[in-house]
Amino acid sequence: MQRNNIHLAVCADGAVTETLNALKASPATSKAKAKFVLATDGAWFETEDLDSGETIACQYPHFPDHFGFFLPLAGISTVKEIRNNAIDIKATGRLNRLYVELLKDNEDWATDARRHDMNQFMTRLIFCFFAEDTDLFKGDDLFTSTIEQMTDSRTDNTQYVIGELFRAMDMKPEDRKTANLPRWACVFPWVNGGLFAGCKEIPTFSRIARSYLLHAGRLDWKEINPDIFGSMIQAVADDSERGELGMHYTSVPNILKVLNPLFLDGLRGQLEEAGDNSRKLLNLRKRLSKIRVFDPACGSGNFLVIAYIRMREIEADIVRKRGEPVQKSWIKLEKFFGIEIKDFAVEVARLSLLIAEFQCDVRLIGQKEAKSMMLPLKHTGQIRQGNALRVNWLEVCPPVGTGVKLVSNDLFDTPLEQVEIDFENVAGETYICGNPPYLGSTWQSKEQKDDLETIFDGRVKSWKSLDYVAGWFMKAADYGIVENASAAFVSTNSICQGQQVPILWPLIFQTGHEIAFAYTSFKWANLASHNAGVTVVIIGVSKKAGATRQLFSLEGDSETVVKKTGNINTYLVPAPSIIVDSVSRSPNDRALMVWGNKPTDGGNLVVSSVERQRIISNTPEASEFIRLYFGAAEFIRGLERFCLWIEDDDLAKAVAIQEIRDRIARVKGFRLASKAAETRPASEYPHRFRQI
């Protein structure tokens, strides 16, 4: 038994299930607050997470495949999708060890000035691990085994060996003859695409760091999921995110709630409608090739990756139906745009898209062709590092028809050999999507408030009450004025409630956008401690919302109900667009609304449930002076609170009770000391609320 952790037992052959049941039933398990019970006879293995009720039963040798299940023992919380992907967790865990260890030996790499170099170095490693497991490098585990063989755990030549490997990968075959590369580096292909250009420095490697590098390399990276892995890997470079693996993770079903109604359903509809008509199918394929997807808070790119994969699947259907010979996809990664504030996530987003492209090619075209097309690396998604609320979106994802200068827009900010590539954006559609950060007005930093100010100041007065996510909606709507674009984001539901509605939505409507589809509030089933209690909505806005709009709601756990309606208003109700604004005076035909009871008491007339219990148990006669007290919080959240309520006639009786007497004295002192002249006279009747 490990207190607060696990109760486990080794048992006789064949007695695993009954032993697990005995552990579960044991009073010691609950007394020690064990989170898990586990039993094994060495051949069979069973365990249960006592909080979630999830269980695992497997052959004992498969135990390590399930270690994601036990992450709570390491103080790490994460969602089920991540827990179930052992390879992604292992990869993140090992990279993380390596990252931390490298920073110990290379302190300057942890500074702001060097962080980009560090992140770039880690991304190069990830690429090599992936490449050696997918036969992009010839020979099994070529990268890891070369390092293992050519370096020595007792000396410090790891840095040199990796440096030479990276130098080779940055060099065209024709330049190698005179480059004096070691023989073992020459077998590595030219990768380039900017990935190995730029900073050539390699951090120094201690013995421990070398071991961690080899451990990471020994994983089978072929199976990593560019969407899950990407979201998790943000934690590698960020101490604060480590306890909640995949803190930013938006699950694939939730990503599809955004992407399907935004544009994927439309594409599938067109595919179905085309039937076997070759010309219609070809038109759809052309349409697909012109679509641009843009996530202005892209993290490590999972919305873009999923959009890309799903579009490739539709394209594959077209190719199959038309009986076209297998050929390269027309869907180009450079049509996928993103903005992300965190440097490491940016690097990973670019790499994730390349990995997604390769995996799609393998699946849809075949391993051999995919390999031949991958190297040297070409363009990947156009991911910009920056603050999305400050960056001009029209520069990141320029209006179609204008020439786009692709300068240093390759994998890793390094100019390509081609110097600059201009390519014409033929008219198409742009879909803006994502899960931008939500942050209520009281939680925003000074910088975040300033971000909102640059967007809303001068357009609307009370912009300070807006959630941070409102900035993304506004920028998307502004972008849509210029460009043929529709947008959909996951958002906190507060922007569709109360005071934010009349501030934000009239501005959005002024740009010609309407709500094209929405998911009404649902609980964000993500990491408990981080997102506890967050209720989200999904809102799609468009200038071409159409006559029929789709309003989705989730019933129970997973059933989705969709209502077709002519209008979705800002409260996400299928009804006319009426916005409830605040007014400071009651209209003439309504009852006058005035200040209610206002204590102005320094907290001394207000009594919590606990205080009430204490006071009454000490002096039961106090109970007649303690009343239920309802404010907005009590009303909305069902909380309980009390106050002292003493009529003038009862004052003598009340002050006979010591606690009440003390409280009244403190109210008097508080009011006397008040800076507000109108409060001070109220010190004459401190047993009462100042206003009744």
By the criterion CB under 6 A, which residues form the site for ligand SAM?
231, 248-250, 297, 299, 302-303, 339-342, 345, 387-389, 434-437
The nearer residue to ligand SAM, 37 or 293, going by C-beta atoms, is: 293
**Residue among 85, 104, 105, 97 at smallest CA distance from 125:** 97
Gap between the Cα atoms of 687 and 122, Å rounded = 67
Distance of closest approach, residue 600 Cβ to ligand SAM, in angstroms: 40
The nearer residue to ligand SAM, 316 or 341, going by C-beta atoms, is: 341
The CA-to-CA distance between both ends of the chain, in Å, stands at: 60
Q: How many alpha carbons lie under 13 Å from residue 450 in its C-beta half-sphere?
A: 5
* Number of C-beta neighbours around residue 464 at 10 A: 13
Distance of closest approach, residue 304 Cβ to ligand SAM, in angstroms: 9
Gap between the Cα atoms of 667 and 138, Å rounded = 81
Q: b/e string for 427-445 if b means 16 or more Cβ within 10 A? A: ebbbbbbbbbbbeebeebe
* Number of C-beta neighbours around residue 174 at 10 A: 8
Distance of closest approach, residue 499 Cβ to ligand SAM, in angstroms: 23
Phi, psi angles (nearest 5°) of residue 39: -140, 145
CA distances from 590 to 316, 583, 586 (A): 63, 12, 6
> Sign of the C-alpha dihedral, residues 663, 669, 674, 678?
positive
The nearer residue to ligand SAM, 220 or 447, going by C-beta atoms, is: 447
CA distances from 316 to 240, 285, 312 (A): 41, 9, 6
Distance of closest approach, residue 80 Cβ to ligand SAM, in angstroms: 15
The number of angstroms, rounded, from the C-alpha of 303 to the middle of its chain's C-alpha atoms is 10
Distance of closest approach, residue 636 Cβ to ligand SAM, in angstroms: 26
Gap between the Cα atoms of 117 and 106, Å rounded = 12
> Sign of the C-alpha dihedral, residues 224, 226, 231, 236?
positive
* Number of C-beta neighbours around residue 418 at 10 A: 8
Distance of closest approach, residue 469 Cβ to ligand SAM, in angstroms: 10
- Ordered DSSP codes for 445-467: -HHHHHHHHHHHTTT-TTGGGS-
- Helix, strand, coil shares of the chain, percent, nearest 5, are 50, 15, 40
The nearer residue to ligand SAM, 29 or 225, going by C-beta atoms, is: 225
Q: b/e string for 44-59 if b means 16 or more Cβ within 10 A? A: bbbbbbbeeeeebeee
| Residue with the shortest CB distance to ligand SAM | 299
Distance of closest approach, residue 264 Cβ to ligand SAM, in angstroms: 17
Distance of closest approach, residue 151 Cβ to ligand SAM, in angstroms: 35
The nearer residue to ligand SAM, 106 or 409, going by C-beta atoms, is: 409
Distance of closest approach, residue 530 Cβ to ligand SAM, in angstroms: 10
The nearer residue to ligand SAM, 101 or 451, going by C-beta atoms, is: 451
The nearer residue to ligand SAM, 159 or 435, going by C-beta atoms, is: 435
CA distances from 231 to 301, 347, 366 (A): 8, 12, 27
The nearer residue to ligand SAM, 437 or 512, going by C-beta atoms, is: 437
The nearer residue to ligand SAM, 150 or 252, going by C-beta atoms, is: 252
The nearer residue to ligand SAM, 281 or 397, going by C-beta atoms, is: 397
The nearer residue to ligand SAM, 341 or 373, going by C-beta atoms, is: 341
Q: What angle, 0 to 180 degrees and rounded to 10, lies between the N-to-C axes of helices 226-233 and 343-364?
A: 170
Distance of closest approach, residue 535 Cβ to ligand SAM, in angstroms: 15
Gap between the Cα atoms of 248 and 371, Å rounded = 31
The nearer residue to ligand SAM, 194 or 226, going by C-beta atoms, is: 226
- Ordered DSSP codes for 620-671: GGGGGGEEE---HHHHHH----EEE---GGGHHHHHTSHHHHHHHHHHHHHH
Distance of closest approach, residue 297 Cβ to ligand SAM, in angstroms: 4
Distance of closest approach, residue 290 Cβ to ligand SAM, in angstroms: 24
Distance of closest approach, residue 386 Cβ to ligand SAM, in angstroms: 7
The nearer residue to ligand SAM, 235 or 400, going by C-beta atoms, is: 235
